[in-house]
Amino acid sequence: MRLTKSVENKLHRPTFWHFVTLEPDGTPYVRPVWVDEKDGHVLVNSGARWRKVHNARANPHVALSMVELDNPYERVEIRGCAVEFIGGQAADLQLDQLAKRYLGLAVYPWRKSGEARVIIRIEPKVVVHHVDTDDPHVLPVA
């Protein structure tokens, strides 16, 4: 599925997204994450040994969601599949790029010594961009 320009723009802003993977028993595991977009794919950077990476490797069906702070009735949901795990220097460089976007810093400041990083590349399958109202003071009509 192709991302719209408005969704791509949200993926290129310092917006926090919730990333959902599935535990071995099928229950959802949710964590807030920084995101990026490249060539129509969503990119999530994580420590290689973290649970969300383990879950996505075991079951590639994942989801992301965000809510606009200026208008909490506007939301984006992306459901898709983790199609690639990219480690090494590419993951390290991308983490620093995210630190620049989200923190205004050239280098990610919370690196743990010896920690390997990985980019989870997600292919969107379903994308929902829902806007109920442009005015956050007016409730949406059901």
Q: What is the pLDDT of residues 77-125, one digit of tens each?
A: 999 999 999 999 999 999 999 999 999 999 999 988 889 999 999 999 9
Q: Is 142 a domain residue?
A: no
- Classified as helix, coil or strand, 88 is helix
CATH code of the domain containing 68: 2.30.110.10
Q: In the chain, which ranges are E strands?
A: 17-22, 28-33, 35-38, 41-47, 61-67, 74-87, 117-131
DSSP 3-state of 73: coil
Residue 33: which residues within 8 A CB-CB, separation 6 or more?
16, 17, 18, 19, 44, 45, 46, 52, 64
Q: Residues, the chain, total?
A: 142
Q: How many domains does the chain have?
A: 1
Answer whether residue 142 shows pLDDT above 70: no
- In this structure, is residue 136 part of a structural domain? no
39 in any annotated domain: yes
Bridge partners (DSSP) listed for residue 129: 76
Has residue 66 been placed in a domain? yes
Residue 104: give the domain boundaries. Answer: 5-131
Where is 16: in which H helix or E strand?
Answer: none
Is the pLDDT score of 135 beyond 80? no
**Above 80 in pLDDT, residue 140?**
no
Asked whether residue 24 is assigned to any structural domain, the reply reads yes
